[in-house]
Structure 1
């Protein structure tokens, strides 16, 4: 069984930033299917281009563009390229780094597809840091990684303490329902009083309902923003923003730059 060591993945490396036990890298995937293998360190894969399948002994997970997959260092798995072109962005950290930062390794157990839009937004910022290196990269990247781990820790805590069953249903609606998601609509679908929803959401989603919905739209927007074949108007529409000015305003609030500036920064160095 092949073990992939720190910073190594199947494919062609396009860029890498490594420091203090953290590695962020970008790879162009070249093989139709990899051999079964596992990694020396835990890592996340964000699919930048194409469609991938991540398979292990239990299941196969479809990972289209914009997917965020986490794989534990103990997880034996393989990858399949389902499209002609495919590339991905990786965040990897040594297990000693977790200890140094006081992060419980149980937070990162198992392998899973990450749907949380807050984590996707953090990865969008992380990718931008990799694409535009400057003297402050190290501290910026480390801060973002700590925020990602903190968010995962919160998710783990909620799983341990238990959440109302309707919270999972709420997330499904927020992630996949294409209707106009008013509070009353959510209340009708969940059969939960609007006041109860508004009180519970900050506890279980760590944000207001409006903030979670905005981040979900940004999550949808990022992979299309990385594709120059889509205009900014099209990206705004696909992601569910009211118009391009709404997209511009929300994106700038979270990324401190406009969608156009973000796209130029990324495409200057190429997606693949």
Structure 2
């Protein structure tokens, strides 16, 4: 018989947990090399903060590394294998009654979804930062951020029905691989052999943002992951991620996350 885990229950050693109004946010160290087939009582997100994890459901098998984000609906059966290294992940669990009270239909987001969008991943970082604050405002902040995240996933799911141009995959790879460089629209359009105006217009149609906004979201996400690896100094990270200097990186963090890099390290550990 396949085991179903109750609300807030996960395999591993719990570092931190916040539960309120049907939302549970945890920070967990994975300690089991293998976890057999199971499901969870509620839909939830898994966000890998450190290490690697292999996750398999009835349809797909994912090899996850640091920064990977998965959404699971409650009916999704899966199993996990942890490679022999330190692995830590965050979970954001959503009681369906919470979504129902807010007239958000979560039931039509089915199965497992590997979320590639850097903006969504940055929203998860914001939720984690808020979950470790002890004040009168963090719960409302988390609820608003979670609604943004779910809306983003739902919208992205619906957009998959709209066929993207064949060159989009190559475009996304180019941007991601070169996000630490001073990449320009002209460089990308030359690489793809497309007119810059057509590229810009089509890009905005599918992403709803400018080319620059998209690149900055990726850089912020890569910077957060680099900070959590603890392999480089903040000065080195600022250089590697192509900020003008460490002060520029601090300004960008305060603008998008409301925290400095040092504060992020202190809060998330």
The TM-score normalised by the length of structure 2 is 0.91
**Aligned counterpart, 2:233:** 231
Q: Shift of the alpha carbon at 1:107? A: 5.0
Q: Where do residues 24-173 of structure 1 align in structure 2 (5 Å cutoff)? A: 24-105=25-106, 107-173=108-174
Structure 1: 5+ residue stretches without partners: 268-272
Q: Shift of the alpha carbon at 1:4? A: 0.8
Q: 1:144 to 1:181 in 2, by over 3 A?
A: same
CA distance in 2, matches of 1:43, 1:207: 27
Q: Deviations over 1:166-188 (max 9, x none)?
A: 33332222223466521112112
CA distance in 1, matches of 2:34, 2:194: 46
Q: SS where residue 161 of structure 2 aligns? A: helix
Matched, 1:213 2:215: yes
Q: Deviations over 1:214-257 (max 9, x none)?
A: 01011111122124342112323444445433322322210122
Q: SS where residue 62 of structure 1 aligns? A: strand
Matched, 1:264 2:259: no
CA distance in 2, matches of 1:238, 1:154: 33
Q: Deviations over 1:42-94 (max 9, x none)?
A: 11111112111111233321111121122221211111111331111101101
Matched, 1:192 2:233: no
**Relative contact order: is structure 1 or structure 2 higher (C-alpha 8 Å, sep ≥ 6)?**
1
Q: 1:15 to 1:100 in 2, by over 3 A?
A: same
**Aligned counterpart, 2:246:** 244
The TM-score normalised by the length of structure 1 is 0.90
CA distance in 1, matches of 2:147, 2:167: 29
Structure 2: 5+ residue stretches without partners: none
Q: Shift of the alpha carbon at 1:13? A: 1.5
CA distance in 1, matches of 2:108, 2:248: 35
